[in-house]
Homo-oligomer: A and B are copies of this chain.
Amino acid sequence: MAEIGTGTVGKALDVLDLIAAQGHPVRFAELQRLSPLPKATLYRLVQTLVINGMVTQDEESGAYALGMRLVRLAHAAWRQASLAPVARPFLDTLSQESGLTVHLAQMDYGHVLYVDRRDAQDPNAMFTDAGKVAPAYCTGVGKAMLAYLEPEELDQVLGMQSFHRFTPTTLASETVLRQSLDRIRERGFAIDREEYQTGVTCAAVPILSAEGRVLGAVSISGAGSGTETRTLEAWVPRLRICAEDIAMEASHWAFPAEQSAGNV
Protein backbone atom coordinates (compact mmCIF):
# COMPACT_ATOMS: atom_id res chain seq x y z
CA MET A 1 0.00 0.00 0.00
CA ALA A 2 2.91 2.36 0.55
CA GLU A 3 4.00 3.32 -2.93
CA ILE A 4 6.97 5.49 -3.75
CA GLY A 5 5.54 8.56 -5.41
CA THR A 6 7.23 9.91 -8.50
CA GLY A 7 8.15 13.57 -8.59
CA THR A 8 6.65 16.38 -6.61
CA VAL A 9 3.12 15.68 -7.72
CA GLY A 10 3.39 12.02 -6.83
CA LYS A 11 4.64 12.84 -3.38
CA ALA A 12 1.90 15.39 -2.83
CA LEU A 13 -0.73 12.85 -3.80
CA ASP A 14 0.81 10.29 -1.48
CA VAL A 15 0.45 12.76 1.34
CA LEU A 16 -3.17 13.26 0.34
CA ASP A 17 -3.73 9.52 0.56
CA LEU A 18 -2.05 9.46 3.90
CA ILE A 19 -4.40 12.08 5.27
CA ALA A 20 -7.32 10.24 3.75
CA ALA A 21 -6.28 6.95 5.27
CA GLN A 22 -6.43 8.23 8.81
CA GLY A 23 -10.15 8.84 8.76
CA HIS A 24 -9.84 11.77 11.11
CA PRO A 25 -8.14 15.16 11.10
CA VAL A 26 -4.40 14.74 11.49
CA ARG A 27 -1.87 16.97 13.18
CA PHE A 28 1.45 17.60 11.51
CA ALA A 29 3.43 15.57 14.00
CA GLU A 30 1.33 12.52 13.27
CA LEU A 31 1.81 12.91 9.54
CA GLN A 32 5.50 13.17 10.07
CA ARG A 33 5.47 9.94 12.01
CA LEU A 34 3.62 8.18 9.18
CA SER A 35 5.52 9.59 6.26
CA PRO A 36 9.03 8.74 5.16
CA LEU A 37 9.53 12.28 3.87
CA PRO A 38 11.80 14.67 5.74
CA LYS A 39 10.11 17.22 7.94
CA ALA A 40 10.61 20.33 5.84
CA THR A 41 9.56 18.61 2.63
CA LEU A 42 6.47 17.15 4.18
CA TYR A 43 5.62 20.53 5.62
CA ARG A 44 5.89 22.27 2.29
CA LEU A 45 3.84 19.60 0.55
CA VAL A 46 1.03 19.83 3.05
CA GLN A 47 1.03 23.60 2.73
CA THR A 48 0.84 23.27 -1.03
CA LEU A 49 -2.15 21.00 -0.69
CA VAL A 50 -3.83 23.45 1.65
CA ILE A 51 -3.20 26.35 -0.72
CA ASN A 52 -4.70 24.32 -3.50
CA GLY A 53 -7.82 23.45 -1.56
CA MET A 54 -7.27 19.72 -1.46
CA VAL A 55 -6.73 19.82 2.27
CA THR A 56 -8.19 22.12 4.89
CA GLN A 57 -6.43 23.15 8.03
CA ASP A 58 -8.51 23.62 11.14
CA GLU A 59 -8.00 27.17 12.38
CA GLU A 60 -7.50 26.45 16.04
CA SER A 61 -6.21 22.93 16.27
CA GLY A 62 -4.06 23.22 13.16
CA ALA A 63 -5.10 19.69 12.18
CA TYR A 64 -5.39 18.75 8.53
CA ALA A 65 -8.40 17.15 6.87
CA LEU A 66 -9.31 16.51 3.26
CA GLY A 67 -10.82 19.46 1.48
CA MET A 68 -14.08 19.88 -0.30
CA ARG A 69 -12.39 20.36 -3.64
CA LEU A 70 -12.01 16.61 -3.64
CA VAL A 71 -15.70 16.01 -3.24
CA ARG A 72 -16.36 18.31 -6.16
CA LEU A 73 -13.76 16.58 -8.29
CA ALA A 74 -15.03 13.16 -7.36
CA HIS A 75 -18.51 14.04 -8.40
CA ALA A 76 -17.13 14.75 -11.83
CA ALA A 77 -15.03 11.59 -11.75
CA TRP A 78 -18.02 9.50 -10.84
CA ARG A 79 -20.04 10.97 -13.68
CA GLN A 80 -17.44 10.77 -16.38
CA ALA A 81 -15.32 7.76 -15.54
CA SER A 82 -17.54 5.30 -13.78
CA LEU A 83 -20.24 3.03 -15.03
CA ALA A 84 -22.62 4.33 -12.40
CA PRO A 85 -24.54 6.98 -14.31
CA VAL A 86 -24.99 4.60 -17.22
CA ALA A 87 -25.91 1.65 -15.04
CA ARG A 88 -28.24 3.43 -12.69
CA PRO A 89 -31.61 2.76 -14.38
CA PHE A 90 -30.80 -0.92 -14.77
CA LEU A 91 -29.78 -1.28 -11.15
CA ASP A 92 -32.97 0.47 -10.16
CA THR A 93 -35.29 -1.89 -11.94
CA LEU A 94 -33.36 -4.93 -10.82
CA SER A 95 -33.47 -3.93 -7.18
CA GLN A 96 -37.16 -3.15 -7.43
CA GLU A 97 -38.04 -6.38 -9.19
CA SER A 98 -36.05 -8.53 -6.83
CA GLY A 99 -36.30 -6.62 -3.60
CA LEU A 100 -32.59 -7.29 -3.16
CA THR A 101 -29.65 -4.98 -2.63
CA VAL A 102 -27.69 -4.38 -5.81
CA HIS A 103 -24.05 -3.23 -5.87
CA LEU A 104 -22.06 -1.92 -8.79
CA ALA A 105 -18.28 -2.14 -8.56
CA GLN A 106 -15.20 -1.52 -10.66
CA MET A 107 -11.58 -2.56 -10.43
CA ASP A 108 -9.16 -0.08 -8.95
CA TYR A 109 -5.53 -1.01 -8.50
CA GLY A 110 -6.20 -4.55 -7.49
CA HIS A 111 -9.05 -3.63 -5.22
CA VAL A 112 -12.76 -3.51 -5.61
CA LEU A 113 -14.23 -0.03 -5.68
CA TYR A 114 -17.94 0.24 -5.11
CA VAL A 115 -19.37 2.97 -7.29
CA ASP A 116 -23.08 2.62 -6.68
CA ARG A 117 -25.68 0.79 -4.70
CA ARG A 118 -29.43 0.39 -4.93
CA ASP A 119 -31.54 -0.98 -2.13
CA ALA A 120 -35.23 -1.58 -2.40
CA GLN A 121 -35.78 -1.97 1.33
CA ASP A 122 -33.68 0.77 2.70
CA PRO A 123 -33.72 3.98 0.71
CA ASN A 124 -31.11 5.39 3.03
CA ALA A 125 -28.26 3.49 1.54
CA MET A 126 -26.27 5.92 -0.49
CA PHE A 127 -23.16 8.01 -0.90
CA THR A 128 -21.78 6.23 2.13
CA ASP A 129 -21.08 3.31 -0.11
CA ALA A 130 -19.83 4.89 -3.28
CA GLY A 131 -16.07 5.13 -2.98
CA LYS A 132 -15.71 2.26 -0.55
CA VAL A 133 -12.99 -0.21 -1.28
CA ALA A 134 -12.76 -3.89 -0.49
CA PRO A 135 -10.35 -6.70 -1.31
CA ALA A 136 -10.87 -8.38 -4.67
CA TYR A 137 -10.24 -11.96 -3.57
CA CYS A 138 -13.04 -12.29 -1.07
CA THR A 139 -15.94 -10.35 -2.46
CA GLY A 140 -18.44 -11.52 -5.03
CA VAL A 141 -17.85 -8.63 -7.36
CA GLY A 142 -14.11 -8.94 -6.96
CA LYS A 143 -13.99 -12.61 -7.88
CA ALA A 144 -16.40 -12.10 -10.76
CA MET A 145 -14.03 -9.52 -12.23
CA LEU A 146 -10.85 -11.47 -11.53
CA ALA A 147 -12.26 -14.52 -13.28
CA TYR A 148 -12.54 -12.66 -16.55
CA LEU A 149 -9.31 -10.70 -16.60
CA GLU A 150 -6.62 -11.37 -19.18
CA PRO A 151 -4.02 -13.80 -17.77
CA GLU A 152 -1.31 -11.13 -17.52
CA GLU A 153 -3.66 -8.68 -15.87
CA LEU A 154 -4.73 -11.37 -13.44
CA ASP A 155 -1.15 -12.19 -12.48
CA GLN A 156 -0.47 -8.55 -11.90
CA VAL A 157 -3.56 -8.03 -9.78
CA LEU A 158 -3.04 -11.19 -7.77
CA GLY A 159 0.41 -9.95 -6.93
CA MET A 160 -1.21 -7.02 -5.15
CA GLN A 161 -3.43 -9.12 -2.90
CA SER A 162 -2.50 -9.67 0.69
CA PHE A 163 -4.77 -12.66 1.45
CA HIS A 164 -5.94 -11.96 4.92
CA ARG A 165 -8.40 -14.43 6.43
CA PHE A 166 -11.39 -12.26 7.37
CA THR A 167 -13.81 -15.09 8.13
CA PRO A 168 -13.59 -18.88 8.31
CA THR A 169 -14.68 -19.14 4.66
CA THR A 170 -12.25 -16.59 3.21
CA LEU A 171 -10.16 -17.94 0.34
CA ALA A 172 -6.83 -17.13 1.85
CA SER A 173 -4.35 -18.24 -0.75
CA GLU A 174 -3.66 -17.70 -4.42
CA THR A 175 -3.97 -21.40 -5.25
CA VAL A 176 -7.40 -21.79 -3.73
CA LEU A 177 -8.49 -18.53 -5.31
CA ARG A 178 -7.35 -19.59 -8.78
CA GLN A 179 -9.36 -22.82 -8.51
CA SER A 180 -12.35 -20.81 -7.43
CA LEU A 181 -11.93 -18.55 -10.46
CA ASP A 182 -12.02 -21.55 -12.80
CA ARG A 183 -15.30 -22.57 -11.24
CA ILE A 184 -16.67 -19.06 -11.67
CA ARG A 185 -15.75 -19.05 -15.34
CA GLU A 186 -17.59 -22.36 -15.79
CA ARG A 187 -20.74 -21.19 -14.10
CA GLY A 188 -20.59 -17.59 -15.19
CA PHE A 189 -21.14 -16.12 -11.75
CA ALA A 190 -19.40 -15.78 -8.40
CA ILE A 191 -20.76 -16.45 -4.96
CA ASP A 192 -19.45 -14.86 -1.79
CA ARG A 193 -20.44 -17.00 1.18
CA GLU A 194 -19.56 -14.75 4.05
CA GLU A 195 -15.97 -14.67 2.91
CA TYR A 196 -15.45 -11.07 3.85
CA GLN A 197 -18.13 -10.20 6.33
CA THR A 198 -20.10 -12.71 8.32
CA GLY A 199 -23.76 -12.58 7.46
CA VAL A 200 -23.17 -11.20 3.99
CA THR A 201 -23.76 -13.55 1.10
CA CYS A 202 -24.00 -12.41 -2.47
CA ALA A 203 -23.99 -13.47 -6.09
CA ALA A 204 -22.12 -11.47 -8.69
CA VAL A 205 -21.57 -11.43 -12.44
CA PRO A 206 -19.01 -9.47 -14.42
CA ILE A 207 -19.90 -6.71 -16.85
CA LEU A 208 -18.02 -7.46 -20.05
CA SER A 209 -17.57 -5.28 -23.09
CA ALA A 210 -18.26 -6.65 -26.54
CA GLU A 211 -14.56 -7.45 -26.87
CA GLY A 212 -14.61 -9.29 -23.56
CA ARG A 213 -12.84 -6.69 -21.47
CA VAL A 214 -13.90 -6.46 -17.83
CA LEU A 215 -15.74 -3.20 -17.23
CA GLY A 216 -17.04 -3.93 -13.75
CA ALA A 217 -19.39 -6.23 -11.90
CA VAL A 218 -22.85 -6.25 -10.39
CA SER A 219 -23.95 -8.20 -7.37
CA ILE A 220 -27.13 -8.98 -5.52
CA SER A 221 -27.34 -9.67 -1.84
CA GLY A 222 -30.19 -10.25 0.53
CA ALA A 223 -31.28 -7.56 2.91
CA GLY A 224 -31.62 -9.75 5.98
CA SER A 225 -28.99 -12.13 7.25
CA GLY A 226 -30.99 -15.24 6.38
CA THR A 227 -31.01 -14.92 2.62
CA GLU A 228 -30.47 -18.31 1.11
CA THR A 229 -27.83 -18.93 -1.51
CA ARG A 230 -30.58 -20.63 -3.53
CA THR A 231 -32.69 -17.50 -3.62
CA LEU A 232 -29.74 -15.54 -4.90
CA GLU A 233 -28.83 -18.13 -7.48
CA ALA A 234 -32.38 -18.08 -8.77
CA TRP A 235 -31.91 -14.41 -9.59
CA VAL A 236 -28.61 -14.91 -11.39
CA PRO A 237 -30.10 -15.15 -14.90
CA ARG A 238 -31.87 -11.85 -14.31
CA LEU A 239 -28.65 -10.40 -12.90
CA ARG A 240 -26.81 -11.48 -16.01
CA ILE A 241 -29.32 -9.63 -18.18
CA CYS A 242 -28.74 -6.55 -16.07
CA ALA A 243 -24.99 -6.81 -16.64
CA GLU A 244 -25.50 -7.22 -20.37
CA ASP A 245 -27.79 -4.23 -20.51
CA ILE A 246 -25.19 -2.14 -18.77
CA ALA A 247 -22.42 -3.32 -21.08
CA MET A 248 -24.56 -2.53 -24.09
CA GLU A 249 -25.44 0.93 -22.84
CA ALA A 250 -21.84 1.60 -21.89
CA SER A 251 -20.64 0.77 -25.39
CA HIS A 252 -22.90 3.44 -26.79
CA TRP A 253 -21.54 5.98 -24.39
CA ALA A 254 -17.98 4.92 -25.03
CA PHE A 255 -16.92 8.07 -26.76
CA PRO A 256 -19.35 10.96 -26.61
CA ALA A 257 -17.47 12.77 -29.37
CA GLU A 258 -16.21 16.30 -29.45
CA GLN A 259 -18.31 19.19 -28.21
CA SER A 260 -17.23 21.85 -25.85
CA ALA A 261 -20.28 23.61 -24.46
CA GLY A 262 -19.21 24.90 -21.09
CA ASN A 263 -22.22 24.28 -18.86
CA VAL A 264 -21.49 23.66 -15.21
Contacts and interface: CB of A to CB of B under 8 A. Distances in A.
Given A127-B116, A264-B133, A73 B258 contact: no
A80 B63 contact: no
One complex includes copies of this chain to the number of 2
B9 A131 contact: no
A71 B24 contact: no
Given A16-B73, A74-B73, A84 B10 contact: no
B77 A67 contact: yes
Given A68-B108, A70-B77, A72-B113, 12 more contacts: A6-B52, A9-B48, A10-B48, A13-B54, A16-B73, A22-B80, A23-B76, A34-B260, A66-B76, A72-B133, A74-B77, A133-B264
Contacts of A49: 9
Given A10-B51, A52-B9, A52-B13, A24 B256 contact: yes
A262 B21 contact: yes
A23 B71 contact: no
Contacts of A58: 255
A131 to B, nearest CB: 2
Nearest to A92: B124
A161 interface: no
A80 to B, nearest CB: 5
Nearest to A107: B68
A63 to B, nearest CB: 7
A56 interface: yes
